[in-house]
Structure 1
């Protein structure tokens, strides 16, 4: 393990171990005191014990337990002398503007560890202050014992920057995650951040100079806005953390990410204004759903400003793409662009109300699927008018869908219907929807609803009923969940498939229904998100892999 982490410090100077023993006279040095920051980047890797347990679980869940055994065997071979109960870490401060990695390996006796590695590194030399020097190829690594930790760096003086108690800096991240990275952007000197932005800007300008064609201007405008947002993130980011944990105890994989902006900046203002709000569509969050999506958050004026620029540039690009189509006449391009503009205006007007509130719900079981969507919008009447305008523009077109408007009302919501014939050669689609796809649309004063198929109308009405009594704000800005088992059971009821059957069988032995969950929450001046892959989802993937392996063996007469 020590040799592995030494390799992370390369490339380094080509000073040999023997040359490193030669002291440098004061007159030979620059005499300048190096400017060193706190760590810009901290990387942690879980303890060997933790990783072994987690990889054993993951490989078993995926139906490939042999890989967990291989990891355990290799870990036992290469970690002798290392404290397998503690995490390891890499710190990256800037020394005179240059990244200088420092590796932290838990061991109470680094000399014994190095002795076992002599076949790979050769014998270690020892300097007057006890610092050890080993050569890895043409490179040199300096190592110092600090309590129960070995500190490794590619420059001897950098060892002095190591914390006296490494555990206090890396234990929390190293325990919570198998691997985690934290970036402290404000430890990067402004001059270096400005230089990075300058390099990105130069590359952007060069790329835009090569951009040609009729859509060059709109593409440049869109890219210019993206570049401005990237510059804002680089200059105003305070802290960024990403961590991945294979949670053997909880039988799941967790991916956490958090971001904070510097207090008082425009970016911080954007995030500070983003808070959970009472929702008219929280009924979509329910156990047993095949899938749902829910978002209810306030929107800052700064976010609206950025969204407006993005939407305007996207419209320009879409118009250019439509204009190049050889399937649309000039008048049809104009009509399509008009509709796109109206939709964009409605979206922006809804944002300008200062909130986002929407939900979608998918329910499935054997032979049945229901889907409904509902959202707040600034003007439901305008939404209905846009659909009616589309219907008028499609009149006379071959295979155009049929529209029925103002068919009924429910709870103050006007109901409309769009239906289209499914082509005879679309056998799988016909098995799901029948000969005709029927989409029900509801428009209220400040709402819009969609139900897929007649069987989903009751679900849409349930959503309309729930919207009449908004539920108090939760802790979440947004939540998405997908449960694979009910979706697979429905798919299997439509058309039998061996791979799906194998995944269903694997899910029947899992702790959950094959759950994928994404949750975002507001934090001070930032946002935190978590992605969870449940045990069932992993086992379903394993079932699909085993089915593919079996088919391959059958095709190859029993050989992989």
Structure 2
């Protein structure tokens, strides 16, 4: 067990050293950066949203906000010439579902979570503040750039905005009306201009911007407003190059400052990795075309849906990378099954450019790994050398697999009361090398009293050589013993082009089933790049069988009254020049969360009552 723990210690050594460049990969923790360097071909789909949010936030902060002048409040005289502003299409479009839709959806959500009073409060407030508003239509905000500055335009569904303003006079004061019919109200320190356009009211803080509102606002926001309770669409190419370049310059400045603090032998490798990451981020910012995010509380379907999509500018390198990322027939699609407590499946081609970028990133990271190991006070010289060799061989095998131009992998978890089975399998360029790495780990662990026990070539099943790793579970780890017993047994299978893993003896038949299915790759999921699903009920039942818990009992009770087993599902698919992802939280999962909330509230109330005596 010592070599494995040494590798774990090595990872802990690395985390602080990559923390200064974590932002370059847009991950939450340095550990994520270390993992991402190994799986770099998919970095764009993971970092796109974060890069876009950073850019839009920066743009809003950097562009000058236009103040409202007294001239804006005056009517335009006959014959007076006013220069037409330079206006872009909307950079950002935001929609909020209709009041009717939001009320219905929030009533469902709060009821599913066991907090119906919250939905009732929203309905009461909506009735108070929406008099005069068409509650069947969505609300929208468009943000074009006007003479280089963002100018929000709000679209409110009402056929008589004067009546609405009349009801708000106690908060805004009476509205002034200009000669052309434009209304003016003061909201705090801001002046808002309002114009009636058909059955819509158009609001802006700059009078000239009102002319840029669409003649039929519903044609712009109706679809998004009907599909989602809240949706945001960002058109990156409407943001001026100067703004995007300024953002990149500020990020580079931050990197330079971080790199200047790096000392010692690993400073150069850290700098190289940061530079590669910066290049990737700059590509993302300059070549992104459109980003959309939407959330819909689907009361009719009893679920929550989160949709996200990203597209690259046609003709760019980024667009070419996405064009080369396509679903492929999979040898591991068996993991996608209805009786699973959870599964993950990923089968996609990889573009040559992504492989090239991954190779460069891993080379830099491996230099950092070796240098960090050598400087560690947790590893002696021999242990550092052994850990470096193992990490290098694993990285080389992963890169060789990427160079074959595809990723194909799957994992599945099956549970019920008192039983758990977990297996996974994946394509590798050289299964014999995977077995050799495992044997190398075994030889390096030999002689350590706490080392796991290795058994190689125990049998061969359909061309797959079966190996075993067994490790004793310390007595202090009582919860682990309840799951695995006194010994954890991990079965590993290596084939010419695949690696399989089964957790526990009870999972071996399932692994053999996966091996059998791999002989005939399936194209049944040919429209999907990746799929992930968790079903909560079988997991809760298994957890409760291991150790009873009142909170889990409450969740099981709530979940038993739902039409699904508490499903969370995520599916990614390719689209033209990009990728879309849908995440679905079904009714059972929400009700299980509600059960946990009610249990926590009951415990809190019990504690409060106990404290009164």
Specify if TM > 0.5.
Answer: yes
Match of 1:545 among 597, 600, 613: 597
Provide the residue aligned with 1:504 in structure 2.
556
Provide the residue aligned with 1:477 in structure 2.
529
> SS state of the match for residue 263, structure 1?
coil
Provide the residue aligned with 2:343 in structure 1.
292
Task: For 1:461 and 1:50, locate their aligned partners in 2 and report how far apart those are by CA, in whole Å.
Answer: 49
1:527 aligns with 2:579: yes
Structure 1 position 197, deviation (Å): 2.3
1:14–1:139 Cα contact (<8 Å) kept: no
Give the 3 Å change call, closer, same or farther, for CA 467–126 of structure 1 in structure 2.
Answer: same
2:303–2:586 Cα contact (<8 Å) kept: yes
Structure 1 position 198, deviation (Å): 2.4
Provide the residue aligned with 1:436 in structure 2.
487
> SS state of the match for residue 609, structure 2?
coil
Aligned residues: 551
Match of 1:301 among 339, 346, 352: 352
> SS state of the match for residue 522, structure 2?
coil
Provide the residue aligned with 1:3 in structure 2.
none
Task: For 1:208 and 1:175, locate their aligned partners in 2 and report how far apart those are by CA, in whole Å.
Answer: 48
Give the 3 Å change call, closer, same or farther, for CA 262–21 of structure 1 in structure 2.
Answer: closer
1:488 aligns with 2:535: no
Cα deviation 1:101-132 (Å, max 9, x = unaligned) = 10001000000000000011111001111110
1:40–1:187 Cα contact (<8 Å) kept: yes
Cα deviation 1:197-240 (Å, max 9, x = unaligned) = 22332333233334445543333322222221111111101110
Provide the residue aligned with 1:326 in structure 2.
377
Structure 1 position 303, deviation (Å): 1.0
1:292–1:360 Cα contact (<8 Å) kept: yes
1:376 aligns with 2:427: yes
> SS state of the match for residue 556, structure 1?
helix
Give the 3 Å change call, closer, same or farther, for CA 144–212 of structure 1 in structure 2.
Answer: farther
Task: For 2:611 and 2:299, locate their aligned partners in 1 and report how far apart those are by CA, in whole Å.
Answer: 32
Provide the residue aligned with 2:46 in structure 1.
none
Larger mean CA deviation between 547-556 and 101-110 belongs to 547-556
- Unaligned 5+ runs, structure 1: 1-7
Task: For 2:374 and 2:573, locate their aligned partners in 1 and report how far apart those are by CA, in whole Å.
Answer: 41
Cα deviation 1:266-316 (Å, max 9, x = unaligned) = 000100001111110111101020000111111110111121122223323
2:569–2:584 Cα contact (<8 Å) kept: yes
2:330–2:408 Cα contact (<8 Å) kept: yes
> SS state of the match for residue 529, structure 2?
strand
Provide the residue aligned with 1:457 in structure 2.
508
1:147 aligns with 2:198: yes
Give the 3 Å change call, closer, same or farther, for CA 189–405 of structure 1 in structure 2.
Answer: same
Match of 2:365 among 311, 314, 317: 314
Cα deviation 1:465-496 (Å, max 9, x = unaligned) = 00001112521100000001100100000111
Provide the residue aligned with 2:458 in structure 1.
407
1:376–1:448 Cα contact (<8 Å) kept: yes
Give the 3 Å change call, closer, same or farther, for CA 188–21 of structure 1 in structure 2.
Answer: closer
Match of 2:160 among 102, 106, 109: 109
Alignment of 1:50-449 (within 5 A): 50-212=101-263, 215-449=266-500
Cα deviation 1:298-343 (Å, max 9, x = unaligned) = 1110111121122223323333443343221112111101110100
1:518 aligns with 2:565: no
Larger mean CA deviation between 323-332 and 417-426 belongs to 323-332
Give the 3 Å change call, closer, same or farther, for CA 326–202 of structure 1 in structure 2.
Answer: closer
Larger mean CA deviation between 199-208 and 269-278 belongs to 199-208
Structure 1 position 20, deviation (Å): 5.1
Give the 3 Å change call, closer, same or farther, for CA 26–269 of structure 1 in structure 2.
Answer: farther
Provide the residue aligned with 1:4 in structure 2.
none
1:374–1:447 Cα contact (<8 Å) kept: yes
Cα deviation 1:444-475 (Å, max 9, x = unaligned) = 00000000000000000000000001112521
Task: For 2:250 and 2:280, locate their aligned partners in 1 and report how far apart those are by CA, in whole Å.
Answer: 15
Larger mean CA deviation between 485-494 and 215-224 belongs to 215-224
Give the 3 Å change call, closer, same or farther, for CA 136–306 of structure 1 in structure 2.
Answer: same
1:553–1:559 Cα contact (<8 Å) kept: no
> SS state of the match for residue 348, structure 2?
strand
Give the 3 Å change call, closer, same or farther, for CA 55–406 of structure 1 in structure 2.
Answer: same
Structure 1 position 558, deviation (Å): 6.8
Normalised by the length of structure 2, the TM-score is 0.87
> SS state of the match for residue 500, structure 2?
strand
Task: For 2:67 and 2:323, locate their aligned partners in 1 and report how far apart those are by CA, in whole Å.
Answer: 49
Structure 1 position 27, deviation (Å): 13
Aligned-pair Cα RMSD in Å: 2.2
1:12–1:139 Cα contact (<8 Å) kept: no
Larger mean CA deviation between 88-97 and 469-478 belongs to 469-478
Give the 3 Å change call, closer, same or farther, for CA 27–229 of structure 1 in structure 2.
Answer: farther
1:556 aligns with 2:608: yes
Task: For 1:219 and 1:488, locate their aligned partners in 2 and report how far apart those are by CA, in whole Å.
Answer: 44
Task: For 2:581 and 2:573, locate their aligned partners in 1 and report how far apart those are by CA, in whole Å.
Answer: 6
Give the 3 Å change call, closer, same or farther, for CA 527–174 of structure 1 in structure 2.
Answer: same
